[in-house]
């Protein structure tokens, strides 16, 4: 079975509170991209995991990998090959999306939250609103496909450290998400982790600055990946080429997000 695990992009990520156990309450508009990891599963005896691809370095091939833990929840036996195209610790849910792909294909979706706050939203590749700590997800209609450039400056952002650097945890939510999500509305939204991430690494500001010609540039998740929304695929490809040429050590990809309609 061939499975795709798209990148998760937080078009908006508002931190609206904190639970007694320390987890933060979020209000986020999440979309997924055509670009992502690829998994191949084949049923058989036992469980084995092999990881290859441009971001396979340092990715465990045992129980430490969320894919393995998802396979255990799904009671899947056989081989899994994970082709890693998404950088990890990057705010685009690579590991969560990989795990969700296994749960979706082989069962156990009801236990997604056990694997991480971002895993439930990754069970669908359609635009969704994510609330609570990540467990409350609902489909959002009226989100178009956006031409995106994803840029990662190679900085691994430890999510707990970024949350700790937050100065305010009781920010306003997104309110009513309009019937048609427009750039103008998105511009009025925020990623509340962005300021905290800028305090953790100066590279965030450099990364956002590289997307200066985008219609909207924002950080995804707890960073360090930032995205730019461009008017069409050509301008996204041109911006990606420009940034990749200036920053050969960065990860830069032009892609599209998956719309509500398909
Ligand atoms: O659930 P996950 O393993 O993805 O979360 C990683 C860390 O991010 C948590 O240990 C917590 O410090 C922080 N976090 C949070 N509030 C959330 C999600 C994650 O504080 N809603």
Say what percent of the chain tops pLDDT 70.
100
Q: Is 186 in the pocket of ligand 1 (CB under 6 A)?
A: no
Q: Is 163 in the pocket of ligand 1 (CB under 6 A)?
A: yes
165 CA to centre of ligand 1 in angstroms: 13
Q: Does residue 6 register a pLDDT over 90?
A: yes
Q: Does residue 59 register a pLDDT over 80?
A: yes
Query: Residue ranges of the alpha helices (H) in the chain?
Result: 66-73, 94-106, 159-164, 183-187, 194-200, 203-210, 233-246
Instruction: Calculate the alpha carbon distances from 241 to 84, 237, 253 in Å.
Output: 22, 6, 9
Q: Is 113 helix (H, G, I), strand (E, B) or coil?
A: helix
**Residue 252 to residue 208: CA distance in whole angstroms:** 12
pTM for this prediction: 0.97
Mutation test residue for ligand 1: of 17, 24, 164, the one with most atoms within 8 Å of CB: 24
DSSP letter at 257?
B
Interval 98-124: pLDDT, tens: 999 999 999 999 999 999 999 999 999
Q: Does residue 169 register a pLDDT over 80?
A: yes
Q: Is 133 in the pocket of ligand 1 (CB under 6 A)?
A: yes
143 CA to centre of ligand 1 in angstroms: 26
Catalytic (active-site) positions: 8, 118
Instruction: Calculate the alpha carbon distances from 254 to 46, 57, 160, 215, 235 in Å.
Output: 38, 23, 29, 14, 9
The chain-wide mean pLDDT, for the chain, equals: 97
Q: Cα(first)–Cα(last) distance of the chain, in Å? A: 22
Q: Does residue 139 register a pLDDT over 80?
A: yes
Report, as an integer, the average pLDDT of 80-106.
Answer: 97
Q: How confident is the model at residue 13 (pLDDT cuts 50, 70, 90)?
A: very high
**Residue 139 to residue 219: CA distance in whole angstroms:** 22
CA 84 to chain centre: 14
Give the number of other CB atoms < 10 A from CB of residue 238.
15
Mutation test residue for ligand 1: of 159, 169, 220, the one with most atoms within 8 Å of CB: 159
Q: Does residue 160 register a pLDDT over 90?
A: yes
């Amino acid at each position: 079975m061939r499975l795709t695990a798209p990148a998760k992009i937080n078009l908006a990520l508002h931190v609206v509170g904190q639970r007694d156990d320390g987890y933060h309450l979020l209000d986020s508009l999440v979309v997924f991209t055509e670009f992502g990891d690829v998994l191949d599963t084949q049923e058989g005896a036992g469980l084995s995991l092999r990881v290859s691809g441009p971001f396979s370095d340092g990715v465990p091939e045992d129980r430490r990998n969320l894919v393995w833990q998802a396979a255990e929840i799904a009671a899947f036996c056989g081989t899994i090959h994970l082709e890693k195209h998404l950088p990890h610790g990057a705010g685009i849910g690579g590991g969560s999306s990989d795990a969700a792909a296994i749960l979706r294909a082989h069962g156990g979706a009801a236990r997604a939250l056990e694997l991480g706050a971002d895993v439930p939203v990754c069970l669908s590749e359609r635009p969704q609103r994510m609330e609570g700590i990540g467990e409350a997800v609902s489909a959002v209609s009226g989100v178009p496909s956006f031409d995106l450039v994803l840029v990662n400056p190679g900085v691994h952002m430890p999510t707990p450290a970024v949350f700790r650097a937050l100065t305010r945890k009781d920010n306003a939510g997104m309110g009513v998400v309009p019937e048609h999500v427009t750039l103008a509305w998105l511009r009025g939204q925020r990623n509340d982790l962005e300021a905290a991430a800028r305090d953790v690494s100066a590279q965030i500001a450099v990364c956002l600055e590289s997307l200066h010609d985008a219609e909207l540039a924002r950080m995804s998740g707890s960073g360090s990946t930032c995205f730019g929304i461009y008017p069409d695929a050509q301008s996204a490809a041109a911006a990606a080429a420009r940034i990749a040429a200036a920053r050969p050590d960065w990860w830069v990809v032009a892609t599209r997000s998956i719309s509500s309609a398909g």
